[in-house]
Amino acid sequence: MRRSLVAGNWNYVIVGHSERRALYGESSDLVAQKVKAAMAAELKPIVCVGETLEERERGDTGRVVREQLMSVLDLNGVDIFPFAIVAYEPVWAIGTGRSASPDQAQEVHALIRESIAELNPGVADHTRLLYGGSVKPENAQGIFSSPDIDGGLIGGAALVASDFLAICASMER
C-alpha cells in the first residue's frame, strides 16, 4: 500500500508550482532542470503539474499535464521516481475555494501514473501522487479515497489547525 505519512531523512522542495510558472515564467524545461538540481543536492522534489481553467475548458488537461510531466521524465529519467513526488494542482482550484471533484482528480492522477508506467510499470506503482487543489475537511475523504491519489499537498487549510487535523484524519481512513 502506497498510502503513508511522508517520513525519512530527505528534505523536500516544491518545484513547478503554478505561481512560479505564472509569475516568473518558469517553463517545463526549467522545472525539469530544477528537479535535476534538487536530486543532485539530495532534496526530494515535489513536482507540481496542473492546468489553467482555460486549458481545462478546452479539454487540454491531459495534454498539458502530460507535457509538464514528460519534460521532467525526459531530462531526469523514470528512475527518479519513487524518490520524487508528483502533485497535481489544478491552477483553477488553487486559492479559489474551488476543487476538482474526486472523479476529476482521479482521472488526472490515473493519467500521471499511466504516463510513468509507460516507461516503467514497477516504478509507477511506487510513485507517490498528491492532490493539491484546495483540499478542505469537506472534500478530503472523497479525494483521498481515489485509488491513484496517495495524499495531499495542503496549502491554506494547513493554517487552521482543526482543518488540517481533519484533513489528516481523512487520510488515515
Report which DSSP code applies to 42. Answer: T
H or E element at residue 12: strand 11-15
Q: Is 108:149 a contact under the CB 8 Å cutoff?
A: no
Residue with cell 516503467: 120
Please give the full DSSP string across 102-152, using - where no structure is assigned: HHHHHHHHHHHHHHHHTT-HHHHHT--EEE-S---HHHHHHHHTSTT--EE
Instruction: Map residue 80 onto helix, strand or coil.
Output: helix
Catalytic positions are 17, 89
